[in-house]
Structures are given as structure tokens and as C-alpha cells.
Amino acid sequence: METAEIARRFLNFFEKNGHTVVPSASLVAEDPTLLLVPAGMVPFKPYFLGQRTPPWETATSVQKCIRTIDIEEVGKTSRHATFFQMMGNFSFGDYFKEKAIPLAWELVTSPVEEGGFGIDPEKLWVTVYLDDDEAAAIWRDKVGVRPERIQRMGMDENYWDMGVPGPCGPCSEIFYDRGPEYGVEGGPEADENRYVEIWNLVFMQYERGEGVGKDYPILGDLPQQNIDTGLGLERLAAVLQGVDNIYETDIIGRVLHRAAELTGTRYGDDPEQDVMLRVVADHVRSAVMLVGDGVKPGNEKAGYVLRRLLRRSVRNLRLLSGTDTAFLHELTAVSIDAMKDIYPDLADKAEIIHGVIDTEEQNFANTLRAGTALFGRAAERTKESGGSVFSGADAFQLHDTYGFPIDLTLEMAQEQGLSVDEGAFRDLMERQRQTAKADAKAKKLGNADLSLYSQMHEKAGDTDFLGYSDAESESHIRGLVVDGEGVPAARAGQKVELVLDRTPFYAESGGQLADTGTLTVDGRGTVDVEDVQKPVPGLFVHRGTVRSGEVVLDDTVHASIDTGRRRAIERSHSATHLIHSALRNSLGPSAGQAGSENRPGQLRFDFTADSQVGPERLAEVEEEVNSVLSGDIEVRTQERDLDEALKMGALAMFGEKYGDRVRVVEMSDYSVELCGGTHVGSTAKLGIVKLLGESSIGSGVRRVEAAVGADAFQRLSKESALVGQLSEQLKTPREELPERIDSMVTRLRAAEKEIEKLRADQVLQAAGTLAAGARRHGDAKVVAERAPEGASADDLRTLVLDVRGRLGAEDPVVVAMTSVPKDRPVVVVATNEAARTAGVKAGDLVGVAARALGGGGGGKPDIAQGGGKDAGKVDEALRAVEAAVAAS
């Protein structure tokens, strides 16, 4: 039975049994405590926690999931996978054990021709929690499972909780017996390799308290008893398709066998190669699903997970094939084709998915070349010094400069017989994260506890947004929050968050910044609104400061937005749509939106692109946008069903979540997009759009910035004045300025090169004098001097080698010299072969000098370089080298 058919049968069975079929949520979790969705119940978590009222009493879904905690085990076992699909049925107080257990058994054992999975009951075992006599009785008496096939297990195996205080309860699991060739008899408690868990039924009935692991108190019963089940689609597919593991099932197996063909290997010939092929198959499929849900490769959060998966895939493919051939495009196509029966939208997004993955593969090829060279030098340095631990600082540099995931560095180090100082690496990463934290944290609601807002939403319902048509409204205060606590009133000077029943204020979303303005209670108080956010869908939270008087819960307030600011933002937002269309016309449909920000008078627009967009093409985009807006096209908005909007060609922002009804913004047929933001009435109101520049903000993602309206005019006015000044100073007509400036820059660079050559020649002329002044320390000839003034680090290295060469090869020779470029002392030490034979090594001597300078350094035994902070200790450093040579 194919995987897609298994999923269809599951949903059909529970739909026939009264459950609402709920589509899979995005892999990118809405839950602020999670990065990606790791389990099928996650989208239903607010209902189980009582934060929201479920729109249905029972539901069923096939949920996309990603787990990276066991990424190192992927491919090594028959069960571990990064991406997997969890089929589940859920009850929110409707039914409990007495119905959940028989339903599961019926579906698993019913004949295929009757819509079931047709598994022989004699192949099945079940487990229950130690003291769950009720579940055991249902399995035995109502379902008919023989008592010896029912096993009781403890907290670790058969008790579920979320890891934090909240809902919990016992589990009951169904296991499939793969046969004696896979292990010993005796049921799941005897051998979980032979007896594979396929379905977990969670009976969510208690509330747990604080504790560590499974050591926590049970506080009491939940208000209602809930059901949460999980049946692994890939695991069941392996059982029904009669294969050894999930990698050999119809979907993952297609990717695996194509990877084997492309790399010239054969699955099953070599255990080590088999693991690599399974890693590739799993990771490519995972990457396709992540990109399909709008994730882009990056160095943080979900983007880092995606980058890590793709780079592990590339590295394994290179090891398998022994070449640097790019294979991911072909494997991506196979994965999309294999998964499209379950997720038809993948075919529609194929071009974008290919663009993102192809770009990351190319970028990583460049990264591997540069980073591998750096790794090789650092590994060689470690071994030469007698060490076996690759430094955390080098691992951090590989990550920070070359984008090497730490697990890739670990793998490469292991191949060299080295370990990695992961503790030092983590410390440097944490230090960087702390340094890079933006002050936006104070503004956004981020990872705040959402329970208070959820309770307000339960009580007040959705906020009615009036801002598409109104700039003012009379509203009622339905919630007040000060310092994270609900309060009855807020007074002058206090920071406050307000929930209104209706509002003209736009809450920041879709790249459009929030409105600002005022809330006024007649004769009693005024609030300056500085920001508006939606911490839970449908709830607008107005954040600001009570300027005067006080505001009280249930007050009637006059809400008024800053209309000048709103109009300026609308111009920017409408300009963003035009720029998006112009870029797609110029670069093709792969130039998909990857983010935006619309602020008064200015905008930034992020889009996917393989390479830099040159000045000429940017000028064409700018010209096209301005020609369109000058045509005074009407901007129309209308609500439509999502499917209808997509059929009419409306562009959806990649990775954005949409409801069944969507808002379509049209500028004739030039731009048609799904958008919840506010816009101008016609394009002529934009005035003018000026592109300010283009840059890279990440792998495969570019950014353009632009000024709109009065801001654009001011920019152009300043540029015109600047060009006028240059024209006057250089006595050159405006149109000839580029050639004149280019000529000046060329002459200046040539002069700088000539000066640099003369200075280097002057430094090297000192080599003879320095060699003649060598001093004897025992058998060794030693030169320990300052280099001539102005010597760079490169000059210093060349000079030291020249002096060493002049001193001959018969006697041991040590040359140590210093310079102070840019107020930072540098020291270079060189030794000849005779010195090294006598045990005198440059790397050791440079360490002596660098420590005197308050720094560090290292290198090979023949030449080494170091530096420090204290330029006043240069002579002391040189004398320290001489003393070390004399003592050797």
C-alpha cells in the first residue's frame, strides 16, 4: 500500500467516524516556545491547554513534523528521520479511552477492501501504563486482545507530558511484530527492534506540577478528558510495504535509489555507504518540505536547520561520488514528485524550491573550497603542536566566516583523528548572540507568555479592524495590561497595553509597520499609541504610554491614528507591490518575495535571487515602476475565497499563512497579490520611487531599498546638489563626471602602488645591514631587531626570510624582527634547518615574544608570526627571544 493511500485511508476512516479533517499546519511552529513542529499534536496544543476554544469536538490530521534532536542517528537506525508525518485523531472532551482504543484497533485490523490497513491481529501487541486497569480491560474485554499480548510499562514508556506543568496522562501503544529474524520473542518489553511501535494513544486526563524528567506531582484531574494519538505514517508504510526500514518505503526509497544511481553506488553493498545514502534521502526530503513552507537557509533558527540539512547532504554526496558534482537539483525534483500526491502545492512551488536549494548548494561549494583550506591549516597546526583537540576559536571562525555548521567541523575533525573543543565554540557563539541581540526585543511580543492574551481573546473575541476605511472610531477597552499583568486601570506615566473591541489602528504584519496615534477618554485620560501587535490571531494589542489622567477597563475611548504617517506607509506598501512585479518581469518568477518592511517614506524588499542584480538592471526596474505609477492606475481591493484568488493569478507571499477568505490587492493586471495591508487609492499618489541600492542579506536572498514620494524627491534633490558641487570642483560637465572620476581613481591607485613598491624596496635594502649585525649566542647566529619604519606585516615576513638566507646554512640561524603597523605590534621569527636540528623552533620563539607583547601567535618550526597589544614592549620581546635562544 503506497504511503499516499495510507494517509487517505486514515483521514477517510476518522471522517466517517465524525471527525473534522484538519489540514497539516506549517512546519514553522506558531508556538513561540518551539522552532519547528516536532509532533502531530502541536497545532492543537492551545486547545488542550485551554487557551483557545476548539472549533470542533473531534479532529483528525496528517501533520508534517521535523525533529533534529536525533540528527546524528538519522540513517543509522531503521526508525530515526528528520522529516516525518504523524497521523492522529483528537478529542477535546468528546470521547475517551472507551472509544479511542476500539477505533484504533478497527482501523489497523480491518480488511483492506473495507477501508482498513489489514494487519493480522496475531502480529500485534499492546502496552498500557502500569496501573491503567481501565485501558487494559478495554483491550482485553471490548477489543479481544489476549491478556498475554497486553504488557504494562512505566513512566518512561507509557506516560505522556509536555515537559512542563500542564496536561499529562497515561499512554497505550500498539506494536507490530516483525518476526523472529528481527529479535527475541516476548513482546515490546523484550525487544523493541523486533516489536515496532506504530501507534501511541495518549489519554490526557491529569494536570502535572513542577518537576524534572518524570519526577513531578499530579495536581489533579483536568476539567475534561482529551484524546491525542499519533500513528507514524512512515513506520506504518514500512510495515505495510514489507520493507526493513522507513528508507526503503516508496517515497523515501525513490530519493535514496536515485542518489545511489547519481553517485555510482549501490544500496546494500556497503554499510557505511548505506548510512550516507539514507542521510541524503532523509535530508533532501526534509529540505524540500521546509523550503515549501517558506524557510530560507540562514545562520539562525529554522534557516540554520535547513542549511545544516542541505550541507550535510552535499558533503555526503561528495563522499559517495568522489566528485564535486551538483546533485541536489535532480534529487529535489525526485522528492517533489514523490511527495506531490500528499502535498499537491509542492508542484506549484517547485521553481522556488529548486531556486533556493540550487543556490545553497552552489554557495556551499564555494564555502567548502575556502573553509576546507582553513580547516586543513588549523588541523595541521594542531597536530604539529602535538595536540589532539581542534580549537573552539578555529571552529567558530569556520562557522562565522565560512558558514560551516559545527557538526560538519566535528565530522571533518574526526576524520583527522581530532576532537573539537565544543565548549569554547559554544561560549563564542553565545557571546556573539548576546552581542547581536537587537533592541527590537523590547518592542515585539516575542516569546512572551501568551496565556493572558489568549484569555483576553476568549473573553473579548476578535478585534474588529476598521482601518481600511476609517482613521477614527469610538471603541471600548476590553483589556488592560501593565508589566505583564491584567489590571483594572492605568495612570499617567505608565506603559500600558490595551485591547479594544474595534480599532482603526493597523497591527504590524505583512511587512507593514503598525500605526501610531492616540486613544482619548473624554475629560479623563489620553494614551499615546506607539505600536500595535497581534500576539494571538485576531487580537490587536495597542502598546503605549498614558500621557495624562487614567484609563479604566470598559471605558469608551476615541481612537485616532496619525493619518500622515499612515498615508506615507501606504505609499511605501503600494510601491513594494510594484517593485515586486518589476523584479519578477526582469528576473523571472523565481524572484519571490522573502520579506519586506514598509515604513513612512521608505521601504525594503527582500527577494530570492542567485546572484547580484546589476546597476543597469536595477535602473530598468526603477524606470518600469515609475512608468507604471505615472499611469495613475486604480488600486482595487476585494475579498475572495483563497482558491478563487489563486486561480485568478494572485501572488501569495511564500511561506505566509492564509485563511479560507483572503484580501486581493490589484493594480490592473500589472500587480495582483494577496495582502492584508493598507494601500493608496491610485498609483499616482506615490509621486516617485527611487531605488537606493541592492545588497545580499543571506544565501540566495537579495534586498533592495527604496524611497517613495517626498522622501524620494529629497534624495534626488540632495544627489543633484552633490553632482553640481563635483561638476564645479572638477570643472567637468555633469554628463562627463563618471569618466573623469574613473580616470582620477585609476591614477591614484597607480600612484599608491608605486609608493608601496618604493617603500617595500626601501625596507628590503636594510637586509644586508641587519645580517651583518648578527650576534652570536653559543653556536647560533641571532638577529633580533626592529624593522625599518613603515614595514607592513608582509614586508616584515619577506625581510626576515631575506636576512635568514644571507646568514648561510652551516651555523644555526635565528632571525626575529618586529614592526608596528596600525599601532599593533607584529613579530616574525624564522629559523634555518641547522637551528631546528638543534631543537630551536620558530613557533616556540614567537610565543615567547608574543607573550611579552601581551598577545599570542604560532606557526611552523621554520617560520612563525605573532602579535600583541603593547607596542612599548617591542624591545623587551626581542630580548626575550635572544634569551630563549641562549638558554637552548
pLDDT in tens, 418-427: 889 988 888 8
| Residue-wise pLDDT tens digits, 219-243 | 888 888 999 999 999 999 999 999 9
- Are 520 and 560 within 8 A, CB to CB? yes
pLDDT tops 50 at residue 443: no
Q: Mean of the per-residue pLDDT values for the chain?
A: 88
Domain assignment present for residue 104? The answer is: yes
Question: What type of residue is 562?
Answer: D
- Whether residues 474 and 553 share a domain: the answer is yes
Strand spans (E) along 459-510: 464-465, 472-482, 485-486, 489-491, 495-500, 502-503
| Residue-wise pLDDT tens digits, 547-562 | 999 999 999 999 999 9
| Residue 171, annotated as binding a ligand | no
- Are 263 and 317 within 8 A, CB to CB? yes
Domain holding 26: CATH number?
Answer: 3.30.930.10
H or E stretch including 795?
helix 793-806
- Which residue among 217, 248, 279 closes a domain? 248
H or E stretch including 552?
strand 541-552
Gap between the Cα atoms of 532 and 539, Å rounded: 10
pLDDT tops 70 at residue 741: yes
pLDDT tops 70 at residue 158: yes
Exposure string of 773-789, with b = 16+ CB inside 10 Å and e = fewer, is: ebeebeebbbbbbbbbe
Q: Of 47-51, 125-129, 375-379, 678-682, give the lowest mean pLDDT range.
A: 47-51
Signed CA dihedral, 354, 357, 360, 362: sign only: negative
Q: What domain range is 294 assigned to?
A: 270-436
| Residue 65, annotated as binding a ligand | no
So what's the pLDDT on residue 78? 66
* Residue 506 Cα distances to 463, 467, 495, angstroms: 11, 6, 20
- Whether residues 771 and 655 share a domain: the answer is no
Gap between the Cα atoms of 722 and 679, Å rounded: 33
Other CB atoms within 10 A of residue 866 CB: 26
Q: Which residues pair with 42 in a beta bridge?
A: none
- Which residue among 436, 462, 484 closes a domain? 436
Q: Which residues pair with 605 in a beta bridge?
A: 596, 704
Confidence of residue 437 (pLDDT cuts 50, 70, 90): very low
Domain assignment present for residue 609? The answer is: yes
Mean pLDDT of 661-673: 91
* Residue 453 Cα distances to 444, 456, 544, 743, 761, angstroms: 14, 5, 16, 63, 72
- Are 596 and 607 within 8 A, CB to CB? no
pLDDT tops 80 at residue 657: no
- Whether residues 606 and 539 share a domain: the answer is no
Confidence of residue 449 (pLDDT cuts 50, 70, 90): low
- Whether residues 533 and 628 share a domain: the answer is no
- Whether residues 283 and 135 share a domain: the answer is no
- Which residue among 503, 527, 561 closes a domain? 561
Number of independent structural domains in the chain: 5
| Residue-wise pLDDT tens digits, 240-288 | 999 988 999 999 999 999 999 999 999 989 988 999 999 999 999 999 9
H or E stretch including 3?
helix 3-16
So what's the pLDDT on residue 445? 43
Domain holding 498: CATH number?
Answer: 2.40.30.130
Exposure string of 566-604, with b = 16+ CB inside 10 Å and e = fewer, is: bebbbbbbbbbbbbbbbbbeebeebbbbbbbbbbbbbbb
Of the two residues 520 and 766, the one the predictor is more confident about is: 520
Q: Of 129-138, 212-221, 489-498, give the lowest mean pLDDT range.
A: 212-221
DSSP string, 555-594: -EEEEEE-HHHHHHHHHHHHHHHHHHHHHHHHH-TT--EE
Gap between the Cα atoms of 250 and 243, Å rounded: 10
So what's the pLDDT on residue 32? 67
Domain assignment present for residue 752? The answer is: no
CA-based nearest residue to 411, from 382, 432, 425, 390: 390
- Whether residues 417 and 447 share a domain: the answer is no
Other CB atoms within 10 A of residue 742 CB: 10
Domain holding 867: CATH number?
Answer: 3.10.310.40
| Residue 257, annotated as binding a ligand | no
H or E stretch including 14?
helix 3-16
- Whether residues 480 and 430 share a domain: the answer is no
Domain assignment present for residue 134? The answer is: yes
Q: Of 130-144, 281-295, 366-380, give the lowest mean pLDDT range.
A: 366-380
Domain assignment present for residue 254? The answer is: no
- Are 193 and 183 within 8 A, CB to CB? yes
So what's the pLDDT on residue 858? 66
CA-based nearest residue to 824, from 871, 886, 880, 759: 871
| Residue-wise pLDDT tens digits, 678-725 | 999 999 999 999 999 898 876 678 899 999 999 989 888 888 889 889
Judge if pTM exceeds 0.75: no
Signed CA dihedral, 803, 804, 810, 812: sign only: positive
Confidence of residue 875 (pLDDT cuts 50, 70, 90): very high
| Residue-wise pLDDT tens digits, 336-351 | 999 999 999 899 888 8
Q: Above pLDDT 70, what percent of the chain?
A: 96
- Whether residues 324 and 420 share a domain: the answer is yes
So what's the pLDDT on residue 705? 94
Confidence of residue 769 (pLDDT cuts 50, 70, 90): confident
- Whether residues 462 and 430 share a domain: the answer is no
pLDDT tops 90 at residue 133: yes
Domain holding 574: CATH number?
Answer: 3.30.980.10
| Residue-wise pLDDT tens digits, 60-110 | 999 999 988 767 778 777 667 899 999 999 999 999 999 999 999 999 999
Exposure string of 51-67, with b = 16+ CB inside 10 Å and e = fewer, is: bbebebebbbbbbbbbb
* Residue 362 Cα distances to 27, 163, 315, 319, angstroms: 25, 40, 12, 17
Domain assignment present for residue 759? The answer is: no
- Whether residues 510 and 523 share a domain: the answer is yes
Domain assignment present for residue 832? The answer is: yes
All residues at 6 or more sequence positions from 464 whose CB lies less than 8 Å from its CB, including other chains: 501, 502, 503
So what's the pLDDT on residue 482? 93
Gap between the Cα atoms of 90 and 84, Å rounded: 19
- Whether residues 27 and 119 share a domain: the answer is yes
- Whether residues 662 and 788 share a domain: the answer is no
Gap between the Cα atoms of 269 and 266, Å rounded: 6
Of the two residues 397 and 597, the one the predictor is more confident about is: 597
So what's the pLDDT on residue 439? 35
Domain assignment present for residue 40? The answer is: yes
